[in-house]
A and B are shown apart, each in its own frame.
Chain A
């Protein structure tokens, strides 16, 4: 299929394996096919494109969307019903509560004229979630051809390997197909495919080359890389647009874009700032050092005594009780006694900020007990602002 090769790049061997498995329309295919591969390796895309372009009757269901048995089975039956009924016919919603009913209703629906002599395909995307549903679901789907005595094939798409799926007492083994990760050459080819028409393919290919050079060791996810490619392209083109460099001036373009991409790794890649903020930043050309990322918002400005209360709470929470003597005997008199009311207010405000949480029952007579819930990095930052070396007082660091 010539146009199929244009739609689906770098997956010729998998497409041909699938095509030969499907065979002729009326032939029985292998009862279940298990396709696994990393995220963004094209499993969903290839399966959907192939089934659509060959116009085979199929039902596509996502197991994350249909997280209960009932949702899953009803969606399959209703979509199948929709396929088999003619245009304009508005059929009622089918309800199905158990797998037994599903098999019975499935047999009824596939008697319809339009589905009778061809293989019906049921594709279950994110199939790893099937393992958390009822125990009979996975073995049942693997054997659906035998249980329903119809021409049906179930295709499982998953990121987890088949060995983790196999039930304890065994089951019908599906045909396992691996979608290998894209090599760097393949990634280059696919990313270069969506180059904007204003620039030449070579220009864009050089840009992709640089992008992959920076990000390939960290991330090979096609979706992430495409997103980054689209976001950073305007910055790359900037010198050409401004007239400072020509399209072929690779060195200059590289020097311009490289620190920018490194900064992108800290910010956009981590979703610290949104893509729209990033684009705005590029347009305004401000110094990216002033970026206030999401993690900055977790820093909280606390009043002086509150910081000490927090540090004390942290030490009390994380040091075992018997070591208190060792740390605090010398400094017995140093902690000032503040007004009691103020201390209580400060504690409640820390609880509101969720830096402390209430532990134990409300009705404990000898005062409420609190626990400190901040991370080590956070408390170190706070302690630094009041010149208190907290590491000296922590048991775990002795």
Chain B
């Protein structure tokens, strides 16, 4: 992981100091640390004095900017160029973007502030119309206009297939993959490290006792009255996490509803995936009741129908 951080920082430094444009994609499954990686790299970068003055950052997220128009407005806002743009009307996206980057040029018109674009949920941007934002950003990163670094974060391994040909050709094909393949002992080590209190924690005795008691997962049970995690907490938390939710819902149904579901399952088995309607289910139910007439009270059709209208029954495919 550390190697990857170094690699990324190197890349960013090249843009910031040497004015070299770059693009990179960080790919990894959910929760593998992509956002953490980029944040860490940016933090280290900004610690250098000249960086924090010059380099500009634009953070975009595919969940928030759902089309290119909104994305452009957001870029304008984050670059603090809203006053400069004012009420101007631009012919195309490219025009607008190049105007913004022009505006960032320093007084002597020779060099421009480097800009780092971070695109979270990168795959969602690939679904915009014509992928104009991506095309333009990568285009600028290839041309010598302004030093930009375009960093995309995505959980999709097939992200390159989503890109159009013209976009893909302008992308540098630099990728950082975050595939965590830790074994169980490594996980144990990581958790112990995470949950142990650091040496600077106030209340030394507490910190020592705490570190002795470190286990996995049961952190939410800690309250002022229950300050240490115990093995019982762990078991309870495990049970909570591994509950079968559908089994829980079935547990909560009335006897009649369960009979209806059994009838539906029976129909599904006999007729192999063909659709069925309420009348068929009711007929099955009648057959079932006739066979076991002594133990189940036969309900009138409307009563059965009322129960069927409950949404919970529709939970089951």
Contacts and interface: CB of A to CB of B under 8 A. Distances in A.
Contacts, number: 112
Given A20-B223, A99-B64, A140-B63, A169 B252 contact: no
Contacts of A270: 302-303, 306
Given A20-B223, A140-B63, A159-B312, A180 B303 contact: no
Interface size, B (range): 35 or more
A58 interface: no
Interface in A259-305: 265-266, 269-270, 272, 295
B92 interface: no
Nearest to B77: A104
A147 B310 CA distance: 36
B302 A172 contact: no
A43 interface: no
A172 B121 CA distance: 12
Contacts of B311: 39, 159-160
A266 B252 contact: no
Contacts of A180: 248, 251-252
Nearest to A376: B279
Nearest to B296: A217
A23 interface: yes
B245 interface: yes
B249 A147 contact: no
Interface stretch (A30-38, A45-53, A114-122, A353-361): A30-38
Contacts of A17: 220, 240
A9 interface: no
Chain A binding surface SS class: loop
A258 interface: no
A333 interface: no
Given A266-B303, A270-B302, A37 B252 contact: yes
Contacts of B29: 170
Interface stretch (B6-14, B142-150, B201-209, B253-261): B253-261
Given A38-B252, A38-B312, A178-B248, 19 more contacts: A39-B311, A39-B312, A99-B64, A99-B66, A100-B65, A140-B63, A162-B245, A170-B30, A172-B30, A175-B220, A176-B245, A181-B251, A217-B297, A218-B299, A218-B307, A219-B307, A220-B253, A270-B303, A295-B302
Interface of B: 29-30, 35, 61-66, 70, 74, 123-124, 155-156, 220-223, 240, 243, 245-246, 248-249, 251-256, 297, 299-300, 302-303, 306-307, 310-312, 315
Interface of A: 17, 19-21, 23, 30, 36-39, 41, 98-100, 103, 134, 136, 139-140, 143, 146-147, 159-164, 169-173, 175-178, 180-181, 216-220, 265-266, 269-270, 272, 295
